[in-house]
Amino acid sequence: MELDVLKEKIYMHNKGEKEFIQAVDEVLESIRPALDRHHRLLEENIIERLCEPERVIMFRVPWVDDNGTVQVNRGYRVEFNSAIGPYKGGLRFHPSVDLSVIKFLGFEQIFKNALTGLPMGGGKGGSDFDPHGKSDAEVMRFCQSFMMELYRHIGPFTDVPAGDIGVGAREIGYLYGTYKKLTNTSSWVLTGKGLSYGGSLVRKEATGFGLLYFVRAMLEEEGKSLEGLKCVISGSGNVAIYAAKKAIELGMKVLAMSDSNGYVYDEDGIDIDRIIEIKEVRRERIREYLDKDHPHARYQEGSKGIWNVSCDIALPCATQNELDLDNAKTLKENGCILIAEGANMPCTQAAQKFIHDNGILYGPAKAANAGGVAVSGLEMSQNSIRLSWSFEEVDERLKKIMKDIYKTTSKTAEAYGHRGDLVLGANIAGFMKVAEAMMAQGIV
């Protein structure tokens, strides 16, 4: 079957799954040149096989809140593709989570993980549970209930979850404790664990640091450095915070950051330790940033307004479809030269097209934010050999992985006649690796 007919069939089959179809469409459009060159891909129906998850698990998560009321949420784990290794990918706890969101994330994770060069398949999971405003005890009871079902589906050689939006060190701790109790094994089945029980140094920082290493590689290709550039970073969670920290360390000025309510702009440059105190330690709102120590800071309601702040580099690090066509146009008018994605699928398809057509350098999520899962892979390696590497050693490995991902994506784009198109490069490079592994393993 030719690609357009296949696309129609797949979109009908997944009708209503908006985010999933968006993610699939981006990949299928960019791999056209690979399909023209390698006929076996269509002959063996790799496309349809890749777009269908190997397994989808949906389950009830009942838990008791602090008032003694029984609450029910829905849990998910999509085990998408295991061609190159155990399913690997995060868990997201956010009220917007549904099957479409988890499938889009799981689908993208397949190619991202392939790009890291480590043996990890793709998966994703989560729940529509909202951790905001919940007590520690409520979060713990929810995590225990979630793992009471999930534990039977995962394992160090089967499926290795980690964090994502709403799932950080606290949640991973509760999930891990429950897994251990239920299975009576210390098999380190999750990544992003605490350092005292098998976690890896640099995992917390990895996605944000990796994003900046990738951006540095993109600019080096243009003969430019990061020193003195102005940057805007959306979000103020795990990815955004450590992207900002590394950006500042590399000589950039971070002008604005946001949360789901609004954004702060500080012409003196964002004080990242203050953001860490507010968001990571105290779990408060970003508007708390305004105080006597930051006299020139302003707060604006509405997180999307952040893209009106004039900058050289924009790093969307919050959530999917947070940067639309109008935002991309404004960024261009204000002189932005580079957009790189810390979040998964943060740019709408229309924004992506505008960025591509208007010569803005563009680092797509699958490549640019792969540092997090790459260090998760290194956490698994350390757990397997019962050793812990130093911060410097893991950071060096992360730098090399991000540089290699940049080289692979840019070389692949060039090899297919689309120099500089890192979306095409990342999608084809990730896709070809997984497709070859699938073809070698027969129809399973």
Binding site for ligand 2IT (CB under 6 A): 88-90, 109, 112, 162, 164, 191, 344, 372-373, 376
- State the nearest-atom distance from the C-beta of 375 to ligand NDP, in Å: 8
Cβ nearer to ligand NDP, comparing 256 with 318: 318
Cβ nearer to ligand 2IT, comparing 203 with 230: 203
> What are residue 90's phi and psi, to 5 degrees?
-80, 180
Which tokens belong to 215?
A: 């951006």
Cβ-proximal residue to ligand NDP, closest one: 237
The secondary element (H helix, E strand) that includes residue 103 is: helix 99-115
How far CA 308 is from CA of 93, 225, 278, 292, in Å, comes to 29, 24, 24, 25
Binding partner selected for residue 82 from ligand NDP, ligand 2IT, none, CB under the kind-specific 5 to 8 Å limit: none
Cβ nearer to ligand 2IT, comparing 109 with 327: 109
- State the nearest-atom distance from the C-beta of 252 to ligand NDP, in Å: 19
- State the nearest-atom distance from the C-beta of 162 to ligand 2IT, in Å: 3
CB atoms within 10 A of CB 440: 8
Which tokens belong to 274?
A: 């203050």
Binding partner selected for residue 237 from ligand 2IT, ligand NDP, none, CB under the kind-specific 5 to 8 Å limit: ligand NDP
Cβ nearer to ligand 2IT, comparing 113 with 303: 113
Cβ nearer to ligand NDP, comparing 158 with 260: 260
- State the nearest-atom distance from the C-beta of 159 to ligand 2IT, in Å: 10
The secondary element (H helix, E strand) that includes residue 288 is: none
Binding partner selected for residue 327 from ligand 2IT, ligand NDP, none, CB under the kind-specific 5 to 8 Å limit: none
Cβ nearer to ligand NDP, comparing 45 with 261: 261
By DSSP bridging, strand 338-340 and strand 361-363 are parallel
Binding partner selected for residue 300 from ligand 2IT, ligand NDP, none, CB under the kind-specific 5 to 8 Å limit: none
CB atoms within 10 A of CB 115: 25
Q: What is the DSSP letter of 160?
A: E
Which residue is listed with tokens 């500042």? 248
How far CA 63 is from CA of 97, 140, 419, in Å, comes to 18, 10, 52
Binding partner selected for residue 139 from ligand 2IT, ligand NDP, none, CB under the kind-specific 5 to 8 Å limit: none
Q: Which one, of 200, 154, 155, 146, lies nearest residue 178 by Cα?
A: 146
- State the nearest-atom distance from the C-beta of 206 to ligand NDP, in Å: 7
Binding partner selected for residue 89 from ligand 2IT, ligand NDP, none, CB under the kind-specific 5 to 8 Å limit: ligand 2IT
Q: Is 124 a catalytic residue?
A: yes
- State the nearest-atom distance from the C-beta of 196 to ligand NDP, in Å: 20
Cβ nearer to ligand 2IT, comparing 165 with 270: 165
- State the nearest-atom distance from the C-beta of 89 to ligand 2IT, in Å: 5
Q: What residues line the site for ligand NDP (CB under 6 A)?
A: 163-166, 168, 207, 235-240, 259-261, 303, 317-319, 322, 342-344, 369, 372
Binding partner selected for residue 272 from ligand NDP, ligand 2IT, none, CB under the kind-specific 5 to 8 Å limit: none
Q: Which one, of 375, 389, 380, lies nearest residue 187 by Cα?
A: 380
62 pairs with which residues across the strands?
72
> What are residue 197's phi and psi, to 5 degrees?
-135, 45
Rounded CA-CA distance 225/134 in Å is 43
Cβ-based neighbours of 271, under 8 Å, separated by 6 or more: 289, 293, 294
Distance from CA of residue 360 to its chain's centroid? 21
Catalytic residue selected from 103, 124, 193, 204: 124
Q: Collapsing DSSP states into helix, strand and coil, what is residue 370? A: coil
Rounded CA-CA distance 284/289 in Å is 10
Catalytic residues: 124
